[in-house]
Amino acid sequence: MSEQHVQVEVRLEQMKSLGEDAEKEGVHSEERAPASDPPGVGVGVSVSVARGGNASRSTTVHGHKSRGGRLGKDRNTCGSSDPSIYGSLVSVHAKKNANRAELERTLQIKGNGTILQGKLETNGNYVNNQASKNNQDSTRREEAHKLARKRRPVTVDTAKAKTSLEALKLSIRQLKWKEFPLGRRAACDIYWHGVSFHDNDNIVSGQVNKFPGMIEMLRKINMSRAVRTMQELFPEEYDFYPRSWILPEEYQQFATQSRLVKEKDATLNPTFIVKPDGGSQGDGIYLIRDPSELKLVAGSQAKQSVVQEYINKPLLIDKLKFDIRLYVLVKSLEPLEIYIAKEGLTRFCTEPYQEPSQKNLTHVFMHLTNYSLNVHSGNFVHSDSQNTGSKRTLSSVLYRLAAKGVDIKKVWSDIIALVIKTAIAVVPELRVYHHADIPPGKPGPTCFQILGFDILLMKNLKPVLLEVNSNPSMRIEHEQEVAPGVFKYVPSPVDKEVKVGVIRDTLRLMDPGHKKASVSQPRAGGFENREEIPTEAEAQEEGALPSLCLKQVYPKYAKQFNYLRLVERIAALFIRFLGVKGNMRLGPTAFRTFIRTCKLSNSYFTMASVDILYIDITRRWSGSLSDARDAGMGLQAFVEAFFFLAGRRFKSLALREQVASLLELCEAQLEAHPGAEDRRSVSCSRVLPRAGRGPTPGAANPQADSPAPLRRAASQDYRLHQRLKPREALRANVDN
Ligand code: ADP
């Protein structure tokens, strides 16, 4: 063990004991913005404040400290057996707070872990107002206990769980809930699907662990499109996603832009990674350095894929490239609620990394971190430990980085921001899918879903989003070669540690009893400040369970990110004019109604121009659709039309202000004339020329009024001017 290593360990120990002292002294650990705050993962005391804004607001200890002792350290951090590095670091942060808290004497901690509140009078005396509150609390606790005892166990239909089954069974057992492995005639509270919302289409109540449309939305092309739309509006906020082009339709732009980059600086020889649209587990992925190397067709079919800037300076550990698999729970779409698992996985390459060169482009074990590929490398290390081997816990990697002096709190808050921004990018279209499958008023289940975010850390520690998996593997066994060429599934301690925690705590958050409790006791301050924690009775009922490993990040940090939700407002307009059940596309009449209702046409932009706009955009967007039923204007096409209309109307503003201004205008019109869109069949009966025929000959100045080519040109310009930047502004003190 090196001297430095020993020093680091000693430092961490000291930090930890300081943290423990801080806890004893009475820490008020506040949740703050991700940008400036500690990650709050594995925090010794996790405090949830009901922000009522009045003197009697309640403060609840989130189980951690009081239960931590009983459970032993390995039960405290989302299954991580490490005393988490976050815990130590955050405890130091907590210590500072403790000093402040002590000075202010506003809080006291009692042995049972409940934070009691008092007031500091002007004379400096501390007035404990706990006596009556304690009585009330214990009555409430007793009542909640009685209720909890009466409650029947939550029922879970696991018949369609597929590869998540093992982890799910363990979770249900830990929760003492009731499993129905073969399904059940009566309704269950929760249905666990292995693949898609549609695994079982006969569910009309309860909760399903998949959203309709999530698979489609998170396919590589769709997801790239959604993020690129956000990049147009907010280029800086969305620079965590590598520049991408959609093939085959954007081949020309890709070829031109990569040529321009090389012409501008001959020393630059960027590498690109090509990913087939429906692919997963590294299937069909390859690296290129020139557009001519693209494999554009498979048989006679053009290959749908995404080609992406290759991040050639990843952060390395032990000279190996690795990526992070982060589990994210979308608890609700409307209103948006997102949780991040404090513990995740890191997947390591099995061949030392070198920057891409013509010689090593095909070395998959060097460039691709996929477990499914690397497990077949002779160098793959299966390990029972969580901090060695080719698959490790996220906390063990962050621990390593912290020991090298990396500011992991900053890394973690950047990761939280990346997750929230990505969710904001994909939610608008998900809403459309959701509306089509479960229109308001139709009986249907509520949905939640665990997503797998794949994140790469660059050498400068900036997190980069690689992709989001709608169906992250929840297997807790791994493939192992038991004889040459013979693979078998054997239990994987690392997977079990992480994934059982994620599933169990997702279930706890989705507990219908828990939900009712939080609905029936709305907290002052509204939704924005609501925190999802088990009620005290539930916490006691859950007994020996560790505290939740899922941390709410939205709406918790909504204030910082809400300004990004412009496309969602466009989607709300779109859905409003969709009308018909099950529809996902606007017809020409509905589009005209939208224009009329929002008063967007005038003598300079006539309804004839509106028709041309509709035809032009829909024809291009539906170019790749084989099915005539898919005809019409989808959300992404509508967004393009909306951007164009905004540009026309508010010429002097920047795009995002244009869009925000047009949204305000439309929303104001709709508010003034509620229900106007429902009358469209009466007010708009004119049928448009068929999309396939092109613009109406002789229509007023089609060039000036046909905006899509202009809009497209503008957006291509935008991308042309984006640099292929190595993003090395930050330099980390990390040994590569
Ligand atoms: P799949 O769904 O097939 O796993 P990914 O997008 O996750 O596809 O890519 C597979 C692997 O390729 C990633 O795990 C990562 O190691 C590597 N990778 C993907 N995109 C990039 C990129 N832009 N830069 C560097 N490496 C990448």
**Would you call 650 helix, strand, or coil by DSSP?**
coil
Pick from 413, 423, 718: which is nearest to 564 by CA? 423
Which has the minimum average pLDDT: 213-217, 243-247, 669-673?
Answer: 669-673
- The residue contributing the CA closest to ligand 1 atom 9 is 282
- The residue contributing the CA closest to ligand 1 atom 23 is 310
Q: 213-217: which pairs have CB atoms within 8 A and are 24 or more residues apart? A: 213/429, 213/430, 213/432, 213/433, 213/434, 213/436, 213/437, 214/430, 214/433, 214/449, 214/451, 214/470, 215/470, 215/471, 216/433, 217/426, 217/429, 217/430, 217/433, 217/470
Pocket test for ligand 1, best of 222, 274, 353, 368 (most atoms within 8 A of CB): 368
Q: What is the mean pLDDT of residues 537-544?
A: 51
426 neighbors 217 (Cβ within 8 angstroms): yes
Stronger pLDDT, 276 or 706, i.e. the higher one: 276
> What pLDDT score was predicted for residue 127?
37
* Strand pairing category for 446-447 and 391-393: unpaired
CA of 147 to the centre of ligand 1 (A): 49
CA of 524 to the centre of ligand 1 (A): 44
**Would you call 326 helix, strand, or coil by DSSP?**
strand
Whether the per-residue pLDDT at 421 is higher than 90: the answer is yes
Q: What is the mean pLDDT of residues 157-179?
A: 97
Q: What is the mean pLDDT of residues 297-322?
A: 92
Looking at the CA of residue 454, tell me the nearest atom of ligand 1.
Answer: 7
pLDDT confidence bin for 148, thresholds 50/70/90: low
Looking at the CA of residue 314, tell me the nearest atom of ligand 1.
Answer: 25
Stronger pLDDT, 546 or 53, i.e. the higher one: 546
Looking at the CA of residue 370, tell me the nearest atom of ligand 1.
Answer: 14
Pocket test for ligand 1, best of 240, 271, 272, 273 (most atoms within 8 A of CB): 273
Instruction: Provide CB contacts within 8 A for 30, sequence distance 6+.
Output: 47, 49, 97
> What pLDDT score was predicted for residue 582?
77
CA of 533 to the centre of ligand 1 (A): 35
- In angstroms, how far is the first alpha carbon of the chain from the final one? 19
Pocket test for ligand 1, best of 370, 471, 727 (most atoms within 8 A of CB): 370
Looking at the CA of residue 282, tell me the nearest atom of ligand 1.
Answer: 3
> What pLDDT score was predicted for residue 686?
29
pLDDT in tens, 496-513: 999 999 999 999 999 998
Q: What is the mean pLDDT of residues 719-732?
A: 29
Distance CA 393, CA 402 (A): 14
CA of 344 to the centre of ligand 1 (A): 17
CA of 414 to the centre of ligand 1 (A): 20
DSSP annotation of 279 reads: -
CA of 368 to the centre of ligand 1 (A): 6
Stronger pLDDT, 194 or 540, i.e. the higher one: 194
Stronger pLDDT, 387 or 705, i.e. the higher one: 387
CA of 425 to the centre of ligand 1 (A): 20
CA of 406 to the centre of ligand 1 (A): 24
CA of 717 to the centre of ligand 1 (A): 27
CA of 103 to the centre of ligand 1 (A): 50
- The residue contributing the CA closest to ligand 1 atom 2 is 280
Site residues for ligand 1, CB cut-off 6 Å: 242, 273, 275, 279-283, 285, 308, 310-311, 323, 368-370, 454, 456, 466-467
Pocket test for ligand 1, best of 241, 369, 466, 468 (most atoms within 8 A of CB): 466
Q: What whole-number percentage of the chain has pLDDT above 90?
A: 57
Q: What is the mean pLDDT of residues 53-77?
A: 33
> What pLDDT score was predicted for residue 502?
98
Q: What is the mean pLDDT of residues 303-318?
A: 96
Six token digits for residue 303: 């290959």
Which has the minimum average pLDDT: 12-16, 267-271, 598-602?
Answer: 12-16
CA of 455 to the centre of ligand 1 (A): 9
Whether the CA torsion 68, 74, 75, 79 is positive or negative: it is positive
Whether the per-residue pLDDT at 49 is higher than 70: the answer is no
Whether the per-residue pLDDT at 713 is higher than 80: the answer is no
Distance CA 41, CA 22 (A): 17
Distance CA 660, CA 240 (A): 23
Which of 10-24, 74-88, 151-165 has the highest mean predicted lDDT (pLDDT)? Answer: 151-165
> What pLDDT score was predicted for residue 725?
29
- Give pTM, 2 decimals: 0.75
312 neighbors 459 (Cβ within 8 angstroms): no
> What pLDDT score was predicted for residue 515?
55
* Strand pairing category for 446-447 and 207-208: parallel
- The residue contributing the CA closest to ligand 1 atom 17 is 368
Distance CA 587, CA 609 (A): 16
- The residue contributing the CA closest to ligand 1 atom 14 is 369
Distance CA 389, CA 382 (A): 6
Looking at the CA of residue 308, tell me the nearest atom of ligand 1.
Answer: 23
Helix axes 655-672, 566-578, angle to 10 degrees: 40
Six token digits for residue 654: 């920047």
Whether the per-residue pLDDT at 146 is higher than 80: the answer is no
Query: How many of the other CB atoms lie within 10 Å of CB of 371?
Result: 20
CA of 464 to the centre of ligand 1 (A): 11
265-297 per-residue burial string, b: 16 or more CB within 10 A, e: under 16: eeeeebbbbbbbbebbebebbbbbbebeebeee
CA of 339 to the centre of ligand 1 (A): 24
Six token digits for residue 645: 């209309």
Pocket test for ligand 1, best of 307, 351, 363, 454 (most atoms within 8 A of CB): 454
Average pLDDT score over the chain: 76
CA of 223 to the centre of ligand 1 (A): 14
- The residue contributing the CA closest to ligand 1 atom 12 is 368
- Enumerate the H helices of 153-233 as residue ranges: 165-175, 214-217, 220-233
Looking at the CA of residue 372, tell me the nearest atom of ligand 1.
Answer: 4
Instruction: Provide CB contacts within 8 A for 225, sequence distance 6+.
Output: 246, 636
Pocket test for ligand 1, best of 241, 275, 347, 377 (most atoms within 8 A of CB): 275
CA of 224 to the centre of ligand 1 (A): 13
CA of 323 to the centre of ligand 1 (A): 9
Q: What is the mean pLDDT of residues 381-390?
A: 85
pLDDT confidence bin for 153, thresholds 50/70/90: very high
Instruction: Provide CB contacts within 8 A for 173, sequence distance 6+.
Output: none
Whether the per-residue pLDDT at 632 is higher than 70: the answer is yes
> What pLDDT score was predicted for residue 199?
94
- The residue contributing the CA closest to ligand 1 atom 27 is 310
pLDDT in tens, 182-216: 999 999 999 999 999 999 999 999 999 999 999 99
21 neighbors 13 (Cβ within 8 angstroms): no
CA of 104 to the centre of ligand 1 (A): 50
Residue type for 484, please?
Answer: P
Q: What is the mean pLDDT of residues 339-352?
A: 97
* Beta bridge partner(s), residue 532: none
Whether the per-residue pLDDT at 226 is higher than 90: the answer is yes
Stronger pLDDT, 683 or 592, i.e. the higher one: 592
pLDDT in tens, 259-285: 999 999 988 889 999 999 988 999 999
> What pLDDT score was predicted for residue 180?
98
* Angle at the Cα of 429 from the Cα atoms of 425 and 432, rounded to 5 degrees: 150
> What pLDDT score was predicted for residue 518?
43
Looking at the CA of residue 279, tell me the nearest atom of ligand 1.
Answer: 3
> What pLDDT score was predicted for residue 530?
36
Whether the per-residue pLDDT at 299 is higher than 50: the answer is yes
- The residue contributing the CA closest to ligand 1 atom 11 is 368
